[in-house]
């Protein structure tokens, strides 16, 4: 085993793995970059513990995998840009919070024509009595579990994703909207997955409204089944790094009025999701 070889401990059968023997406060070697990227593709979300990273470290990590992304949510989002680092979002929630980011199953900003590929979130302050866990689901496993007939029905369909569904809390901002295939092929793994989510997806374009509502409600409930999800319990300086192209996540707000505070950066996708 070389000094740079990471360790990988899967978190569940379908999604997630914890990565060890790595220090994210230092530049990564080529071997570490390659192995971290391979684990990101294989597990959909990877976790690192005890990483006291700075904003620069977080930006450097994201930069290994793509161009850092500026959030498209505008004034209606619950997170705010970090001072001096517009690509880093402060996700701070406390007794005065009216809502938090991500308390619904979603992949980040699927309302964008080209959604961000990856998100990297670190928690710096956690509630004293536990809580504030994040659920992650595999959109591959959810797709794989559908019947052949349901896959054939969904395959040619497209769905509208609207930022206003998640972000609009009475602010006058115009939010992004996009239409993506309901079933997408991951550009790097070649696997098929379900690409609709309760946070942003508003309708299936080819169906009548009541048909669309029924199919989407079925798919939202299907993706939320526990069979292809895992629950991540944060500690101070834990980092989660997820692939928005094949996972969805849900942040649990069970800690009010306590504080949970962290920082997220994202890197850009290279192309629109395709069938
Ligand atoms: C998010 O949706 O980006 C937030 C996830 C979390 O806070 O756990």
Sign (positive or negative) of CA dihedral 164, 239, 36, 43: negative
Is the pLDDT at 242 greater than 60? The verdict is: yes
Helix 30-43 crosses helix 55-65 at what angle (to 10 degrees)?
70
Ligand 1 centroid distance, CA of 262 (Å) = 9
Catalytic residue among 71, 161, 222, 264: 264
Instruction: Take residue 3 and report the two structure tokens written for it.
Output: 């000094």
Helix (H, G, I), strand (E, B) or coil at 76: helix
Name which residue sits closest to atom 4 of ligand 1, judged by CA: 102
Q: Over the stretch 99-121, which tens digit does the pLDDT of each residue have?
A: 999 999 999 999 999 999 999 99
Q: Chain-wide mean pLDDT for the chain?
A: 95
Alpha carbon distance 193, 148 (integer Å): 14
Helical H segments across 2-104, by residue range:
30-43, 55-65
Q: Over the stretch 4-49, which tens digit does the pLDDT of each residue have?
A: 899 999 999 999 999 999 999 999 999 999 999 999 999 999 999 9
Mean local confidence (pLDDT), 205-220: 98
Instruction: Take residue 133 and report the two structure tokens written for it.
Output: 């866990």
Residue 170's pLDDT is what?
Answer: 66
264 carries an active-site annotation:
yes
102 lines ligand 1 (CB under 6 A): yes
Cα angle 91, 49, 140 (rounded to 5 degrees) comes to 75
Mean local confidence (pLDDT), 214-237: 98
Ligand 1 centroid distance, CA of 251 (Å) = 5
Mean local confidence (pLDDT), 132-137: 98
pLDDT band at 3 (very low <50, low <70, confident <90, very high): confident
Alpha carbon distance 198, 178 (integer Å): 15
Own/partner pairs, 230-233, CB within 8 angstroms, 24+ separation: 230/11, 230/12, 230/14, 230/15, 230/16, 230/135, 230/136, 231/133, 231/134, 231/135, 231/136, 232/11, 232/16, 232/45, 232/47, 232/133, 232/134, 232/135, 232/136, 233/130, 233/133
Instruction: Take residue 208 and report the two structure tokens written for it.
Output: 């009548």
To the nearest 10°, report the CA torsion of 140, 118, 197, 143. -10
Residue 80's pLDDT is what?
Answer: 78
- Which ligand 1 atom minimizes the distance to the CA of 252? 8
Catalytic residue among 108, 162, 168, 243: 108
260-267 and 158-162 strand pairing: unpaired
Is the pLDDT at 132 greater than 90? The verdict is: yes
Share of the chain above pLDDT 70, in %: 95
Beta strands in 98-187 (DSSP E): 118-125, 134-138, 158-162, 177-181, 183-185
Q: Over the stretch 160-170, which tens digit does the pLDDT of each residue have?
A: 999 999 886 66
Residue 72's pLDDT is what?
Answer: 59
Is the pLDDT at 76 greater than 60? The verdict is: no
Is the pLDDT at 222 greater than 60? The verdict is: yes
Alpha carbon distance 70, 217 (integer Å): 31
Name which residue sits closest to atom 8 of ligand 1, judged by CA: 251
Q: Which helix (H) or strand (E) holds 221?
A: helix 209-223
pLDDT band at 128 (very low <50, low <70, confident <90, very high): very high
Ligand 1 centroid distance, CA of 274 (Å) = 25
Mean local confidence (pLDDT), 69-94: 78
Catalytic residue among 106, 161, 203, 222: 106
17-20 and 45-48 strand pairing: parallel
Fold of the 1-269 domain:
Double-stranded beta-helix (3.60.130)
Q: Over the stretch 140-199, which tens digit does the pLDDT of each residue have?
A: 999 999 999 999 999 999 999 999 998 866 666 788 999 999 999 999 999 999 999 999
Residue 69's pLDDT is what?
Answer: 77
118-125 and 239-243 strand pairing: antiparallel
Instruction: Take residue 196 and report the two structure tokens written for it.
Output: 């609709």
Ligand 1 centroid distance, CA of 3 (Å) = 32
């Amino acid at each position: 085993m070389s000094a740079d070889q990471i360790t990988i401990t899967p978190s569940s059968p379908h999604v997630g793995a914890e990565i060890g023997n790595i220090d994210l406060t230092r530049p990564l070697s080529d071997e570490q970059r390659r192995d971290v990227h391979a684990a990101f593709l294989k597990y959909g979300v990877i976790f690192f513990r005890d990483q006291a990273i700075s904003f620069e470290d977080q930006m450097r990590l994201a930069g290994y995998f793509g161009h850092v992304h500026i959030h498209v949510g505008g004034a209606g989002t619950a997170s705010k840009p970090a001072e001096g680092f517009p690509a880093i979002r402060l996700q701070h929630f406390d007794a005065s919070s009216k809502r938090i980011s991500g308390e619904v199953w979603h992949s980040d900003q699927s309302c964008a024509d080209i959604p961000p590929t990856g998100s990297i979130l670190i928690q710096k302050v956690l509630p004293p009595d536990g809580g504030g866990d994040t659920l992650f689901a595999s959109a591959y496993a959810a797709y794989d579990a559908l019947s052949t007939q349901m896959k054939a029905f969904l395959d040619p369909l497209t769905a509208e994703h609207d930022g206003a569904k998640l972000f609009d809390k009475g602010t006058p901002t115009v939010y992004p909207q996009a239409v993506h295939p309901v079933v997408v092929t991951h550009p790097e793994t070649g696997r098929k997955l379900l690409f609709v989510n309760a946070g942003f997806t508003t309708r299936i374009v080819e169906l009548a409204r009541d048909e669309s509502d029924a199919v989407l409600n079925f798919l939202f409930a299907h993706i939320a089944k526990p069979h292809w999800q895992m629950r991540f319990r944060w500690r101070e300086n834990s980092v989660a790094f997820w692939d928005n192209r094949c996972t969805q996540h849900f942040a649990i707000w069970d800690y009010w009025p306590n504080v949970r505070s962290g920082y997220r950066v994202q890197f850009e996708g290279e192309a629109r999701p395709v069938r």
